[in-house]
Structure 1
Amino acid sequence: MRDRTPSGRGPAAATAPARPAGVRVSRAAGTTGAGVAVERLGGRWRVSRPWHPGLRPYLRGYAGYWEAGSSPYRVRVVPTGRAVVVINLAEPFTQVSRLGVPGPGSGRIGSLVVGLEDRPALCEHPGGQEAIRLELTPLGAYRLFAVPMRALTNHAVELSDVLGPGAGELVERLAATRDWAARFDLLDAVLLARLGHGPAPAPEVGRAWQLLAGSGGTVQIARVAEEVGWSQGHLIRRFTDQVGLTPKASARVLRFHRAVALLARGDAGPAAVAAACGYYDQAHLNREFRALADATPGQLVAARRVEGALAQ
């Protein structure tokens, strides 16, 4: 497959289109100045730099990318315990559909927001994608989006539906900016301003999420409620409103996410990982992988990952 010249709205920090200046066209990372690093990963270029200190409490991933080719593709997205923003600077997605959920899916969708998930999704794209992808902590997403997070659970919606009409202007400005360092500067300024005025999560919800995430989803919900000083019913209502999933569903996703990471390291087999992550046995682990990823543990670990998704 031949390298595709990035679109006129696309990359640069490096200004040579197909081979950004200062970057080797290989899998090794290169730098282009201003702290921006560019690397070739299979059929795409990935652009990143250290996050702004003010964003660190809210982000878990932040990178730009563009494809070297323009072939249509489909990827599977599995739950991670994070919310995602994809700012599309070129071709929109053809479809985002949720496995096991009736209905036609999103249809054609450009820049999008996806809340927390507890089931897999399929994303289809015509090829030639150029985008910036953000992964946010649940409470970072609540502060950024300023909407009840339960409304975004297992849904992909247009960015403008969440951030308002200013989202379209932001996407246009990012697309018109040729330099990646300048793109990141622009996006950082918008994110910091919005986060600075967003709703603050309840401290009890923040503590509850810390307990769940810190235990890899193995702590008992009753203990979490006791720790934060709320009844279980009140915890469930407030937590679901600000995180998007119930505490029990969040724990399930966090256990799964930890199991995927342990299996990917290759230090232990499925039975040992099942025990370490709080599953009853390996059969329980297998059932959870089927439910949350529509794949076996072996299939999931072997799958090629593309910006947080699994190539189909």
Structure 2
Amino acid sequence: MATRFSDRLRVTRPWPSGLRPYVHSYDGYRVAAATSYRVRLVPRGRAVVVVNLGEPFAQVFRLRAAGPAVRVVGSLVAGLEDGPRVCDHPGGQEAIRLELTPLGAYRLFAVPMRELTNTVIELRDVLGPGADELVERMSATRDWAQRFDLLDAALLTRLDGGPDPSPEVVHAWRLLTRSAGTIPVARIATEVGWSHGHLVRRFTQQVGLTPKTSARVLRFHRSVELLSHRWTDLSELAAACGFYDQAHLNREFRALADVTPAEMATARRVEGAHEL
């Protein structure tokens, strides 16, 4: 299904059943405007793949990070984040963007997810040199259905051969997501039958963040989603999302997104990011 906005085309279709346990979103889009733009990514508890079929991002960098910006010359993979990231694009973007569950990303990428935490790398660095050939074939056709077919086949093949996350980590992640990050980590350890230390080690290897940080990100993400649905009472929002009070909510927005809740509520959402 294609949807046209003022300056962009978004293309979606139901993804195969074999991808459904691992994928949150899967969209193609084309931005007609040739002017440069900047967006901010905030933590969502998901890994991201962007298959660039046109111009790549000019640079990608973490706010407040000491290191240099990352120059991404092609398609990219971003691991889970615990802080804001900025992406600059020269304009005229055409891409397919996927948001993966952490355990779906672990199975797809077949690397310890902690190696990708707060990191953006080239797609080929995770999927190997075959990723370049795949992107070239997708770029060579203008037919979005064919592009999705090519990517579906590559993802399903990769998932079939990927490592299985441990059942205990699967259960721990399920507990965290169902509670939107409000369940105590000690209770999770008891539920899965592991010590706290063993849970932290195995969970971080397969998810990328510790259980405590994952809970923090999930609470923040839920509050962002409620703000996008016009929730205006910040004291009630803080209570609903498991924050101590409104001051705690404000501090977490500053720490994880470098904005206030009010600024986030009015920001335009663009392909999983925010124009701030």
TM over 0.5: yes
Deviation readout 1:7-35 (Å, 9 max, x if unpaired): xxxxxxxxxxxxxxxxxxxxxxxxxxxxx
Residue in 1 aligned with 2:212?
248
Q: 1:199 aligns with which of 149, 157, 163?
A: 163
Q: What CA distance in whole angstroms lies between the structure 2 residues aligned with 1:41 and 1:110?
A: 25
Matched, 1:152 2:125: no
Give the partner amino acid of 2:191: E
User: What does 1:84-99 correspond to in 2, within 5 Å?
Assistant: 84-99=48-63
Q: Which deviations, in whole Å up to 9, do the C-alpha atoms of 1:251-274 show, x marking residues without a partner? A: 000000011111222245110010
Q: Which residue of 1 aligns with 2:64?
A: 100
8 Å CA contact 1:59–1:136 kept in 2: the answer is yes
Residues 46 and 102 of structure 2 are in contact (CA less than 8 Å); yes or no, is this contact kept in structure 1?
yes
Amino acid at match of 2:19: L
RMSD: 0.9
Question: How far did residue 186 of structure 1 move?
Answer: 1.0
Matching of residues 37-186 of structure 1 within 5 Å:
37-186=1-150
Letter in 1 for 2:169: V
Number of matched residues? 276
Letter in 1 for 2:252: E
**Percent of residue pairs identical:** 67
Question: Normalized against structure 2, the TM-score is what?
Answer: 0.98
Per-residue CA deviations over 1:224-269 (Å, capped at 9, x if unaligned) read 0000000000000000000000000000000000111112222451
Paired residue secondary structure (2:25):
strand
Q: Aligned partners of 2:223 and 2:131: how far apart in 1?
A: 36
Task: Give 2:14's aligned amino acid.
Answer: P
Looking at CA atoms only, which structure, 1 or 2, has the larger radius of gyration?
1
Q: Would you say the 8 A contact 1:95–1:106 is kept in 2?
A: yes
- How far 1:162 moved relative to its partner? 0.5
Q: For each residue in 1:190-233, what CA deviation from the matched residue of structure 2 results, as whole angstroms up to 9, or x when unmatched?
A: 11110011000000000000001110101000000000000000
SS state of the match for residue 18, structure 2?
A: helix
Give a deviation string over 1:87-125, Cα, whole Å, max 9, x none. Answer: 001111110000121111212432000000010000001
- Asked if 1:236 corresponds to 2:200, the answer is yes
1:31-42, aligned counterparts within 5 Å?
37-42=1-6
Q: What is the alpha-carbon distance in structure 1 between the residues aligned to residue 166 and residue 258 of structure 2?
A: 34
Partner of 1:9: none
| Secondary structure, counterpart of 1:223 in structure 2 | helix
How far has the Cα of 1:129 moved from its partner? Answer: 0.7
Match of 2:190 among 226, 236, 254: 226
Aligned CA distance change for structure 1 residues 202 and 234 (closer, same or farther; 3 Å): same
Deviation string, structure 1 residues 114-149 (Cα, Å, up to 9, x no partner): 000010000001111110000000000000000010
Matched, 1:259 2:202: no
Residues 114 and 204 in structure 2, CA contact (< 8 A), matched pair in contact too:
yes
Whether the 8 Å contact between 1:76 and 1:122 is mirrored in structure 2 is: yes
Map 1:279-294 onto structure 2 (within 5 A): 279-294=243-258
User: SS state of the match for residue 150, structure 2?
Assistant: helix
Give the 4+ runs in structure 1 shifted more than 4 A: none
Which secondary structure does the structure 2 equivalent of 1:289 belong to? Answer: helix
Cα separation, 2, equivalents of 1:183 and 1:265:
32
Would you say the 8 A contact 2:219–2:241 is kept in 1?
yes
Q: Which runs of 5 or more residues in structure 2 are unaligned? A: none
The gaps in structure 1 that reach 5 residues or longer are 1-36
1:217 is matched with which residue: 181, 186, 194?
Answer: 181
Contact 1:263–1:269 (Cα < 8 Å) also in 2: no
Give SS of 1:53's match.
Answer: coil
Q: Secondary structure at the match of 1:54?
A: coil
